[in-house]
A and B are shown apart, each in its own frame.
Chain A
Amino acid sequence: MAKQILLNNIDVPGLASYEVYRKLGGYSSVEKTLKNYTPDEVTAEVKKSGLRGRGGAGFPAGMKWGFIDKSTDNPRYFVCNFDESEPGTFKDRHIGQLNPHQLIEGMILGSYALGARTSYIYIRGELFYVLQIIEKAIDEAYRNGFLGENILGSGYSLDLHCHPGAGAYICGEETALIESLEGKRGNPRIKPPFPAIIGLYNCPTVVNNVETIANLPWIMNNGADAYAAIGIGNSKGTKLISACGHINKPGIYEIELGLPVEEFIYSDEYCGGILNGKKLKAVVAGGSSVPVLPAELILRTANGEPRLMSYESLSDGGFQSGTMLGSGGFIVMDETTCIVKNLLTFSRFYHHESCGQCSPCREGTGWIEKILHRIESGKGSMKDIDLLADIAKHIEGNTICPLGDAAAWPVASAIRHFREEFEDHIKLQRCPLSK
């Protein structure tokens, strides 16, 4: 059942070229859509499909499109968020590098639905070599009449450009991305107003993740009902999971939402079990921001039900015993991993990436890194553990953008589930797991 929408042709040699992509049926959704659907009908179809944003938040994509203000003559913009930077997440690079035309095809569909005449793909600056691949594919799409003036004689015209970032995780937050695209520092904006009303250059704008957009051709080709038939509950379709850490087969897997976590970790079709036959200790299931779960809670919910790879099942139990599907960045840790040290690397990351606008995040992320460093190096005291939890609590919900939450949740969850390991560091005055 896997590999049915996003990765079904990923192994075909030369897929990044227009010729190969086209031979495999590429761009047929554009032909069909521009001929048979009005823009609002495309939005309705995406709404009906149940597709949710694949960048991490899981917000229904069609609903987001529905908020766009079409009441004025202002230009409207469709922007692809290719600022993939959430630790553990490396799925969008896979699409951009190997199947850029699928992204471009999705960009055309989304732009048409929203009435955008100019669209941008904002790609993190480190991935310049992927930007080059996409720009080449964009040139091919222009040459073959799928971009530019009067696409396929439909009267609809679209220009599409790539825009590089320059090293700032925060620009994955959509309003920071918009600021960055306007040539400014990536400081998130206060919302409301949301970008659908006031976005890029103060015009109505929708920002969607690469994977979300790459789903659109399949949805328009096969229909919303076919898409909604895949998956489970409110988790429709498939999801790319980028799996890394202590597993036998790290990589990018397209799974049908609803796959048991246990099968994902241990089946040879996916992660292939834990590296070197070691025991599973913990998993960060949806990118570094989501709560870490110990082995027993990632495999089964607190009620003893098998945990599934879906928005609902992964969050079952709330933050007390659950986590989130997030971006699908699946980080696996074996029994030898120090939870404190792993958390320290995450907290250093958030401290480095905080834009500095909001005091709780700017100051709090630095304090957290410092205290964790103290504990990891054997100089912590017992009260440091509660201090960490307290700082995390005071960051959460008190910042303009979700980076504050993203910095707080890993800390709170590590203490919640692995408090003893923090205490051991303090009692032994060293890391109990360091070699």
Chain B
Amino acid sequence: MQSNTNNTEFNSETLALVNLIINRYPQGKQKSAILPVLHIAQAENNGWLSAETMDYVASLLEIQPIEVYEVASFYSMFNLQPVGNCMIEVCQTGPCWLKGSEEILAHFEKRLGIKPGETTPDGKFSLKTVECLAACGNAPVIQVGTEYHEKITIEKADKLLNKWQAENKCSHTNPYL
């Protein structure tokens, strides 16, 4: 479910993973771990980065909160507003457009009753348009969490959507696990 609560503190298992990642960079260069740690933090915070979550990441990396905000706001995979439980990302760049991505997007809009950037009232789904996912040979392509779904047709989109609805799909899982 869509949630505005902040689950900022990582558990010990996640903290161990974060430390492992920080140790991949030279002494004193722990800021390098910001993108991987933000990915983890976003997954743990229902798919978005609240100010509290970013402040927590800053404390873990021993940097200023502003250094996290300016990075989080630059990269398109980070959501700075709450999102639905399952975020469907539809590629709209040339190669996917050539193979019918507009029809696929329109179909998701119709089925979910929302436009890109919006979340269904029950908080279950969000829709987002994205730029090239580098899978153009199997266009049109959509992404849900770490999953790519390729050669999407209307029928395939329906099947996936029905499945996700039935299983109450969550696209925000720790990408390292």
Contacts of B33 in A (CB 8 A): 183
| B97 in contact (CB, < 8 A) | yes
Would you call A128 and B76 a contact (CB within 8 A)?
Answer: no
State whether A345 touches B77 (Cβ < 8 A): no
A333 → B minimal CB distance (Å): 7
- Is B4's beta carbon under 8 Å from chain A? no
A180/B35 in contact, CB under 8 A: yes
Interface size on A, residues (CB 8 A): 59
Stretch of B107-115, B118-126, B136-144, B160-168 contacting A (4+ beta carbons < 8 Å): B136-144
| Contact yes or no, B26 A75, CB < 8 A | yes
**Complex interface: chain B residues within 8 A of A89 (CB):** 134, 136
Chain B residues with CB below 8 A from A132, complex form = 146, 175-176
With A87-B95, A183-B34 known to touch, is A166 a contact of B24 (CB < 8 Å)? no
Task: Enumerate chain A residues within 8 angstroms of B71, measured Cβ to Cβ.
Answer: 183-185
* Number of CB contacts from chain A to chain B under 8 A: 154
Q: Are B132 and A349 in contact (CB under 8 A)?
A: yes
Residues of chain A contacted by B38 (CB below 8 angstroms): 166
The answer to whether B56 has its CB under 8 Å from any CB of chain A is no
Q: Which residues of A contact B95 (CB under 8 A)?
A: 87-88, 244-245, 331
| Other-chain residue from B24, B26, B39, B94 in contact with A201 (beta carbon distance below 8 A) | B26
A251 within 8 A of B: yes
Q: Is the CB of B136 within 8 A of A329?
A: yes
Does B156 belong to the interface (CB within 8 Å)? no
Q: Which residue of B lies closest to A242 (CB)?
A: B137
Residue of A nearest to B177 (CB): A132
Within the complex, what minimum Cβ distance (angstroms) separates B113 from chain A?
A: 25
Say how far A49's CB is from chain B's closest CB, in angstroms: 27
**Can you list the 5 inter-chain pairs with the closest CB atoms, starting with the nearest?**
A166-B75, A183-B31, A167-B76, A167-B77, A244-B136
Which positions in B face A, CB cutoff 8 Å? 24, 26, 29, 31-36, 38-39, 61, 63, 67, 70-71, 74-78, 92-95, 97-99, 130-139, 143, 146-148, 175-176
- Residue numbers of A with Cβ under 8 A of B are 75, 84-90, 92-93, 118, 124-129, 131-132, 159, 161, 163-169, 180-186, 201, 242-246, 250-252, 284, 288, 329, 331, 333, 337, 341-342, 345-346, 348-349, 352-353, 355
Name 29 A/B residue pairs within 8 A (Cβ), A-sorted.
Answer: A85-B132, A87-B132, A88-B136, A90-B134, A125-B77, A127-B134, A128-B39, A128-B146, A163-B32, A164-B39, A166-B39, A167-B77, A167-B78, A182-B31, A183-B61, A183-B67, A183-B71, A184-B31, A201-B29, A242-B137, A245-B136, A246-B98, A250-B137, A250-B138, A250-B139, A337-B98, A348-B92, A352-B131, A355-B74
